[in-house]
Structures are given as C-alpha cells and as structure tokens.
C-alpha cells in the first residue's frame, strides 16, 4: 500500500512539473502552426536568435526568422523574411512568409502562389541541394522544385534566403552539419612513427611553460602560479596535444581495437583531441566533472573559442597505447562537435588558463597560448566543398539567361547601327518600314513577352530610394535583361533622347502601335486632340511621375500599388491573366489606342515622363528638317506624326518624339514630300496632303 502511495505521489509530482513547464497557452500561434504537437517553447538562445520547441521534455526542433541570419535583396529591393521550423535532424517542418515586398505576388500573381512555392520545402532536409525550376523529384544529387512563372528572380532569392538561414541554424545547433572546408584530412595518409617523431613532425604539439615566462606579469598572477606548483621548479607546466581522429596520430598511438572504439564514440564530423599533462600545472582541477569542458584549457580559432568537452573515454577503460608515451599525470580525450566551427587545416591556438584574483571577490584568468598549424601533408582537397561553393545568385541568373542576353544585345547593336546610319537609310522607304515593323514585333514578343524586358517607373523610384538608403548594384543585376536594357537606355537618353526606348524598345508601346495598324486596316476613324488640349494633356504624365516618386519615399508599398497606372504588368508580364479590374483597365487603354494613337504613352506614362526629363536635350538630333518644314509645309505635323511631337514651326519636340522616322522618310521621298513640287511651281497651290500656313 505504501509503495502504491509513493508511486502515485511521484507520478502526480512529475505530471505537475511537466505541466508547469508546458503551458500550451504560452506557445505563439505561428509556432504552434509549425509544431502542432508542441507543449512548450524554451527561451530564445543567447548566441543566435532561435527558439527551441518541446513536446514535454523532448526537443522537437527550432523556430527562427530568416531576417536574423541573411538579408538577401529581393526583386523589390527589400529582403524577404521567412519563418522557418527545423527539426533536430535538419528537416524543414514548415515555413511561412512573415514579410515581403515582392510586387509580382502583392499586385500580380497573388500570394497563394508564393505559399505554394515555399510549401515544397516541407519534409526536405537542409543538406539537400535545391534547384528551382523543374518537376518536384530527386535525382542527380539534387532536389528539384517548381518555380513560379513570371517570378523567377523572387523565388530564387527566397530559395537562397531559406536555405542559407536554415544552414546557419543547423551548423550552430544540430549535429552533423558543418561548413565544408576546402581541405580535409587525407584518410589514406599514414606512416609508422614513434611518439617523439610525431612531435617532431608537428602531428602532436608540445607546450612547455617555464617559470621565467611569469617574469613581468602582475603579482596576482605570479602568486596564483605559486599556489599550483612549486615555485622552485623551473618548469611550470607541460602539455601535449594531438588529434586522435587523424589516422597518422590515432593509429600510431592506439591499438586497432582502441582506435575502432574511438571511432564508434564519435559522430560524423566530430573530432577527438587528446591532452596529456606531464609536469606541473594541469589543464583540469581535482574537482573536474567528466563530460564537461576542462577548467583550465581553451581552444580557439580566428578569435572564436571552440567548444571542447570531455568524451569520458576512460571512465570504464584504462588508457592503453601500443607504443611508449611520456609519463603523464592527467590524460583526457575531448570531443569537438561538427558544428563547433573548427577547421583542422587552419591555424589554431591551444591555451592553458591560469586563474587568479585581481581584486577581492573577482576572478580572472591569464592565458599561456600555443599557436600551431598542422602540416599540409595531412590534408587533401575537398571536392564536395568545391562543388558546393555556389556562385552568387546574380551570376547564376546571367549564366542561365545567356541566350536571351545574346539575342537582346545583338538587337541593341543592330538598332544602334540603324540609328547611326539612319540619314543614309531613310531614302529606302520600304526597307525602313519593314525594319520598323519587324522591330516592333520583336520587342513585343521576344523582349516583352518572352524575356520579360518591360521597364517600369518602379525601377526609377527604387533606384532613387537605393541612392538615399545605400546603393547595391546586386539588386539590379538580378534581372540581366532589365539591367542591360536600362544601361543602354540611360546612355542613349543623353545621345538621341527618349525616342529610342519609347519608339523601339518598349513592349507596351509596340503593342499600342500594333493596335494602330489594326485600326488602319479596319479603317477606324482617328480622333485628333486639339493642340491646346494636347499640350495640357501631355503634362499629366509628369504629374503622375512626381506623385509616384514622392509617395515612394513615404511608402514603397503604396507607391507600388499606385504604379498600377502602368498596364505593363497586366498585359506584358501576366498576359491579362489577372483580377478583372486590372484587365479591364489595360484593355480600355488598348481600345483607346484604336482611336487615339499611343494614347497611354502620350498622356499617362510616368516612365516616359522620367525618360523625357533626362533626354530633353540630346547631344545628337538625328531628325533632319528643312526650312520649309512648318512654313509653309504642315504635311508631317498633320498627317505623319502620330504622337504630335512636331511643333507649329516644324521643329521636333524631342521630349515627346518616339523617333519613328516617319517624318524623315517622308522628307527623303520625293513621292511623299511636297516641298520640292512647291518650290518648282513656286505657286502656293493646295495639293493633297499639303497644308501651307496662312499669311497673317
């Protein structure tokens, strides 16, 4: 009866303690969603920002936010923050997007596609090599995930964010995860050596501390040293250090059975360090507790302390060696875990720590350092590390899109030559029209729809914000086609003005020109805006630009929403597959283009306004004019210029001109231009398509 009561008492007490530590109401909802069986969460770790999650006393894994480990910039110019759950084996339990500014998901495809993408990581291990783009299957040593069409850059950045932050946590908290070194221990290197030969070769390190090294140190340090060893003995302390997990050391000192027992005691990636104290002050005290870190020993590398704890290798076995070793007072074998961060091929420091009291009730230590580097002969190249060294994301994108880049750059070169020699080519009317038609189709279908090379006003105020907050060119390198186009457009603005882009490189502009051709074929009567109204309407796009830029400095998210005045995303990026108000708006603009030539470009486009400001005074004005243009001839202004960029006096307004070359082709074709006929007859006779200016 008494036993039953005692058992009941201990059971109730244990359950009470468990429930006292596992109040489920204290578990944040987002953590409970990732670990549904969790009963409590631990305190956030002090070394890195991770929160341990438990089921009763069992550690389930860790929850953390990617922003605490990486700050990779997304397509929006801002990083993406992902909440990640990782179990104790390094498997992704679940993931959730905490915050992002990717416009393609916020204002385009919708966030469900983003959630579907990150859901693919569930149950996969962080050790896997993830490749985004392809069917979800494992093969060729890689795990393939489906990407998101139209959001390639965004999902690649998110992939890097998830994997890199998860690896950082795994290497810090989980066994078996370590940053692969470029060099590893050569498992086949061995030669039979005595203990003295191992020391002479540098495979085993010897640290000897003499009394005279205490000269000049603080009195408190000298007094402390005298309490640990005889002050009359010149040798204060002597230790040997050797990594038994290195074959040439372990196999020379240990028997085959002992070496096999050592290997069984170590987990993959762990290192065994033996320390022998032969004279004087020892690295452990008399009160040393097995499986803890030695009180008076430190191992460090690159100014970071390496965690080394007793393996307790000799608790049930006496030390046994197959060859004579120096007589020792103390011997311990320490375990260094794989996530400890030790690289055997790099310089490291073993230190004997002498404790002392500088003042009453204060404790300090003095380190006797022994810095060493293991011989190169012990190491070999690590092919795994060489393969896992990933090139930066922007380089991967440039490499993967080499064909699109090559075709785009070739087109830009041909376009530059066409502009450069346009004065010699304009007399070939049919050829110019054929080139322009082919160019518009190429820009619409290849640069726009296929290569996704539609520039946007968002690029302008993102650049302005970056210049204000800290410029990083890697953000712009993430989309190679956009980057190349922007570089080309920026330079061309100051040479020939905005017309080269707006007339020859803008996919939506090309789409509007296609609508103009359709209107011509269908004989849809055009609406010509009166000059007075036209001048006022042109200023509207500048107002839109100023509002967007000003808003971006207040709220980038709001500015991105207002940027939907651009129909580019709906028409070019998403192929009109979008929420119906956006589709209706884009179709309305295209419908108006049937009646008013390039109506969006002329009156609403904030991107065109920004380019017009920069390209208002080009260095080279390619469009040739005659003195008769404008007075008396008004043919080009009235009939040839679809965007009304020719002034009343016949001059070209380069801030509005899209450089379609229709006016130049007309001027160089005697069958089209009426000036020569007028000069020959010298009579101000009205002819078809000829509009002389009335005399005042």
pTM above 0.85, yes or no: no
Q: What are residue 479's phi and psi, to 5 degrees?
A: -120, 95
The reported pLDDT for the residue numbered 371 is 94
pLDDT band at 686 (very low <50, low <70, confident <90, very high): very low
Is the confidence at residue 82, as pLDDT, over 60? yes
Cα–Cα dist 136/156, whole Å: 15
The reported pLDDT for the residue numbered 282 is 92
Parallel, antiparallel, or unpaired for β 51-55 and 58-65? antiparallel
In order, the DSSP letters of 157-222 are HHHHHHHHHHHHHHHHHSTT--PPPSEEE-TT------HHHHHHHTSEEEEEEEGGGGTTS-HHHH
Parallel, antiparallel, or unpaired for β 304-306 and 204-210? unpaired
Q: At what angle do helices 606-614 and 540-554 cross, to 10 degrees?
A: 100
Cα–Cα dist 547/568, whole Å: 19
* Chain position carrying tokens 């004087």: 280
Between residues 582 and 9, the one the model is more confident about: 582
Cα–Cα dist 340/309, whole Å: 11
Partners of 297 in beta bridges:
352
pLDDT > 70 in the chain, percent: 83
Q: What is the mean pLDDT of residues 592-601?
A: 89
The reported pLDDT for the residue numbered 329 is 92
Strand order in the sheet with 138-139: 130-132, 142-145, 138-139
Residues across the chain:
696
pLDDT band at 691 (very low <50, low <70, confident <90, very high): very low
Q: Quick one: tokens of 687?
A: 């002819």
pLDDT band at 620 (very low <50, low <70, confident <90, very high): confident
Between residues 325 and 114, the one the model is more confident about: 325
pLDDT band at 445 (very low <50, low <70, confident <90, very high): very high
Cα–Cα dist 547/606, whole Å: 10
Q: Tally the C-alpha atoms within 13 A of residue 333's C-alpha that lie toward its C-beta.
A: 24
Using CA of residue 297, residue 301, residue 307, residue 309, what is the dihedral sign? Answer: negative
Q: What is the mean pLDDT of residues 632-655?
A: 76
Cα–Cα dist 113/631, whole Å: 60
The reported pLDDT for the residue numbered 420 is 85
Q: Which of 82-86, 268-272, 407-411, 666-670 has the highest mean pLDDT?
A: 407-411
Q: What are residue 417's phi and psi, to 5 degrees?
A: -65, -40
Is the confidence at residue 212, as pLDDT, over 80? yes
- The verdict on whether omega for the bond into residue 434 sits within 30 degrees of 0, i.e. cis, is no
Q: Quick one: tokens of 629?
A: 């243009």
Radius of gyration of the chain (CA): 38
């Amino acid at each position: 009866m008494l036993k039953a009561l005692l058992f009941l008492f201990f059971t109730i007490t244990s359950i009470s303690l468990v429930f006292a530590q596992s109040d489920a109401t204290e578990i944040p909802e987002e953590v409970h969603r990732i670990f549904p069986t969790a009963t409590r969460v631990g305190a956030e770790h002090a070394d890195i920002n991770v929160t341990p999650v438990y089921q009763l006393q069992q550690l389930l894994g860790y929850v953390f936010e990617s922003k605490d480990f990486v700050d990779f910039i997304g397509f929006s110019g801002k990083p993406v923050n992902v909440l990640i759950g990782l179990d104790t084996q390094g498997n992704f339990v679940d993931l959730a997007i905490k915050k992002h500014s990717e416009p393609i998901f916020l204002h385009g495809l919708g966030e469900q596609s983003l959630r579907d993408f990150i859901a693919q990581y569930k149950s996969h291990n962080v050790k896997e090599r993830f490749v985004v783009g392809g069917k979800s299957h494992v093969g060729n040593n890689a795990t393939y995930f489906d990407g998101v069409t139209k959001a390639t850059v965004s999902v690649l950045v998110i992939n890097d964010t998830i994997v890199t932050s998860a690896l950082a946590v795994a290497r810090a908290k989980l066994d078996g995860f370590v940053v692969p070194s470029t060099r590893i221990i050569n498992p086949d290197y061995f030669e039979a050596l005595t203990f003295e030969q191992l020391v002479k070769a540098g495979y085993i390190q010897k640290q000897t501390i003499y009394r005279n090294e205490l000269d000049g140190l603080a009195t408190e340090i000298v007094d402390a040293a005298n309490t640990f060893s005889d002050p009359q003995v010149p040798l204060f302390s002597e230790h040997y250090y050797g990594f038994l997990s290195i074959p040439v050391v372990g196999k020379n000192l240990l028997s085959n059975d002992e070496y096999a027992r050592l290997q069984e005691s170590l987990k993959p990636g762990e290192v065994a360090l033996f320390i022998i104290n032969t004279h004087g002050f020892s690295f452990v005290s008399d009160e040393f507790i097995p499986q803890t870190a030695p009180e008076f020993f430190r191992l460090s590398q690159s100014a970071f302390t390496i965690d080394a704890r007793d393996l307790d290798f000799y608790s049930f076995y006496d030390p046994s060696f197959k060859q004579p070793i120096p007589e020792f007072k103390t011997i311990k074998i320490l375990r260094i875990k794989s996530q400890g961060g030790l690289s055997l091929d790099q310089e490291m420091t073993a230190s004997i720590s002498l404790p002392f009291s500088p003042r009453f009730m204060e404790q300090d230590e003095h380190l006797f350092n022994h810095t060493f580097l293991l011989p190169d002969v012990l190491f070999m190249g690590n092919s795994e590390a060489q393969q896992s060294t990933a090139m930066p994301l922007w380089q991967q994108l440039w490499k993967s899109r080499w064909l699109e880049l090559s075709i785009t750059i070739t087109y830009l070169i041909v376009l530059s030559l066409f502009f450069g020699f346009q004065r010699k080519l304009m007399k070939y009317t049919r050829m110019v029209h054929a080139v322009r038609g082919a160019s518009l189709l190429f820009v619409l279908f290849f640069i726009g729809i296929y290569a996704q090379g539609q520039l946007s006003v968002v690029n302008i105020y993102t650049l302005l914000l970056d210049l204000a907050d800290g410029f990083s060119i890697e953000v712009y390198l993430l989309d190679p086609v956009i980057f190349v186009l922007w570089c080309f457009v920026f330079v061309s603005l100051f040479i020939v003005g905005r017309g080269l882009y707006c007339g020859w490189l803008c996919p939506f502009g090309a789409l509007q020109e296609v609508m103009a051709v359709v209107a011509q074929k269908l004989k849809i009567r055009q609406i010509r805006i009166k000059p007075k109204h036209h001048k006022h309407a042109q200023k509207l796009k500048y107002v839109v630009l100023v509002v967007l830029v000003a808003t971006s400095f207040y709220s980038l998210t709001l500015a991105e929403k207002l940027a939907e005045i651009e129909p580019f995303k709906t028409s070019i990026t998403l192929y009109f597959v979008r929420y119906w108000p956006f589709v209706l708006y884009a179709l309305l603009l295209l419908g108006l283009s049937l009646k008013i030539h390039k109506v969006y470009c002329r009156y609403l486009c904030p991107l065109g306004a920004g380019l017009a400001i920069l390209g208002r005074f080009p260095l080279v004005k390619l469009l040739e004019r005659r003195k008769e243009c404008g007075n008396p001839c008004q043919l080009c202004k009235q009939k040839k210029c679809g965007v009304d960029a020719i002034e009343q006096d016949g001059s070209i307004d380069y801030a509005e001109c899209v450089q379609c070359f229709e006016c130049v082709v007309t001027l160089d074709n005697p069958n089209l231009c009426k000036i020569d006929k007028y000069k020959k007859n010298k009579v101000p006779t009205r002819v078809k398509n000829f509009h002389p200016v009335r005399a005042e």
